[in-house]
Structure 1
């Protein structure tokens, strides 16, 4: 702990909150609000990993948050994982050296968070990993690499559930494990009433409650594979033909790019009953999700939000790092085979929406900031890392 103590003597008693993706902004928003509520000195560092306004700045506006103090530029110019992560690592390190925070909070599994954790580790900051312990056990996923690495270099491991805490124990991590609940519950509970009152998305799209399916796909293992992406297009055709419901499909920039590269755009555009729309802001997406009959997605965040809002979910992957949603009956793993997906939708249409939310009680941010304040106040020589 000698290096940690030396750094603490030269650091400032403040917290750095790192974001860079849509899920990260949403899940960190309760922590930002909690810091503001307590008057805890902090700043937000945005890596710029998400590069379109619809997937980035609009979420700060929707969530009523101040724009980040720091925003890295030109990150989107680097297209490979290594190059993008490396550039974020350099930018974050420079800003951390200037600001000298004592605690750095990262959330989730995106490259943003890996870069932030690595930069903080090298500078001997105290790292708090929000949403730690998630495991898909699918080594094809870059997110899985990131989760495991971050969990092994963080001092404070904020596990959302007892199951994720058990994953950490099995991995023999060195940091302190604290079960807090998931901040996504905080975010949904804080924002759903605002969304219902402010969003006009159902009126704008001419939709009625429970009259449509919602679908999103963006995961690298799905959209970067032309054969899997083609299968997902067939899933859309079969689901619309069998269930006679419209599918609303906010098109992620990555997915749109791959459709063009693989020559699949026209095949998708030709499907009757599929409505492709631009990516939505958080409040509009919450309402669209809450009022759909079923959501089909490869998004981890949407699996969680659907579970919280009592919306049946079909996961278009072979696995999930959110198994709690499956165990309570809110979610089913369908893969990308059209027949399997059709069967999963049929099952979830008949499920009773009476499951108990396993992800927390909406007070995760309080518990996390409680731990952070202990670190800021106390001698940290007892921390494991």
Structure 2
């Protein structure tokens, strides 16, 4: 019996883990000897991580919640490591699977290796090459001590090979985030604001901004917002905004009749808006993957990306953080000449099945 421990620390992690759980259950139903334990580190306390969230996305309630949220990055790392060490000693595993690039990813990988448990990293090998991002440090540390890499792109494979990883450790399987998107797409749910604001398909834009480089510098966020409002013609701008960012925007008195700052939305509601939008403006990585699959124009307000395939193949463009880049991008969008893009190889909804198939073949665990 192969015993797997799955780690999740934040909402996006659960969306990446959910398909793997479904694939393990399918393997069990076919008589395969594999079992899993789901551990939530509690890194992010999120009021939307309610029973509804798990029910909506068909995710089982975690077997263990370490409750390690809060504090500085170092305090959080230490708290997760202490909690997970106890958990893994009490419930030994043959393989610990970490996903993405949050603090929990790195912390649990370290604990597992110190307890001589093999580690698999889902989404291994992606790089922004920006060491000011805590996520990049998490990726580098995790990949330095990972045994098996499940990758989303050829670029990720190349990054790993360059860093000295052996070819036989790398499994190019696709993107589990897209497994979740494809499974849930028929169930996207119209949010209340659709009718409240009388939105029409392809006649509004969705915004998300959360990175400190954009939202913590008052002059920067004001310039970005001014440019977006000035060049988005008569189109409503729907901005699901974190309370902290809302406070900054309010203190700067950033408002406009077309700018609608709304509460953060659930997965099914947010993606309903994205799927029917004219375009998305964001500084998130995961959203660029989803817009690529849904064929929605995407403008990324960052100077780098760890998901270059969303640009080379998909519908995403990296505008950088200079507000002056917004006007030409908007002109291109409104002229109808935005690139159509294509869906990257293996982003087909079957990634988790490939991951579980490869795990079942591993002789070392």
Q: Which structure 1 segments of 5+ residues have no match? A: 1-11, 381-385
- Shift in Å, 1:353: 6.2
Unaligned runs of 5+ in 2: 29-33
Structure 1 position 75 matched with structure 2 position 65: no
Partner of 1:279: 264
Cα distance in 2, alignment partners of residues 84 and 134 from structure 1: 23
Name the structure where helix makes up a greater proportion of residues: 1
Match of 1:307 among 284, 292, 300: 292
Q: Counterpart in 2 of 1:246? A: 236
CA distance in 2, matches of 1:288, 1:312: 13
Quote the Cα distance in structure 2 between the aligned partners of 1:90 and 1:223.
33
Cα gap change, 1:269/1:352 in structure 2, threshold over 3 Å: closer, same or farther?
A: closer
2:341 counterpart (334, 342, 355): 355
Task: Give the C-alpha shift of residue 103 in structure 1.
Answer: 0.9
Length-normalised TM-score, structure 2: 0.91
TM-score by length of 1: 0.86
- Residue by residue over 1:43-89, the C-alpha shift from the partner in whole angstroms, topping out at 9 and shown as x without a partner, is 2111122212226665323202221111122512x1x2111122112
Deviations 1:103-122 (A, max 9, x none): 11111111121112111111
RMSD, aligned α-carbons: 2.2
Change in Cα spacing, 1:311 to 1:181, as seen in structure 2 (3 Å) is: same
Structure 1 window deviating more from structure 2 (123-132 vs 203-212): it is: 203-212
Residues 1:201 and 1:325: Cα distance change in structure 2 (over 3 Å) = same
Q: Match of 2:94, SS?
A: strand
1:214 Cα deviation after fit:
0.3
Output aligned runs, 1:13-28, within 5 Å: 13-28=2-17
Contact 2:179 2:349 survives alignment (8 Å): yes
1:182 corresponds in structure 2 to: 175
Aligned match for 1:34, one of 18, 23, 30: 23
After alignment, is 169-178 or 134-143 more displaced?
A: 169-178
Q: How many residues align?
A: 357
CA distance in 2, matches of 1:70, 1:204: 40
1:319 counterpart residue number? 304
In structure 2, the partner of 1:291 is 276
Q: Of 192, 198, 208, which residue of structure 2 is paired with 1:216?
A: 208
Structure 1 position 352, deviation (Å)? 5.4
Quick check: 2:68–2:76 contact (8 Å CA) kept in 1?
no
Q: How many Å separate the matches in 2 of 1:294 and 1:227?
A: 25
Query: Does 2:48 align with 1:54?
Result: yes
Q: Match for residue 365 of structure 1?
A: 352
In structure 2, how many angstroms separate the alpha carbons of the residues matched to 1:369 and 1:25? Answer: 17
User: In the TM superposition, what is the alpha-carbon distance from 1:31 to its structure 2 partner?
Assistant: 0.7
Alignment of 1:120 with 2:112, yes or no, is yes
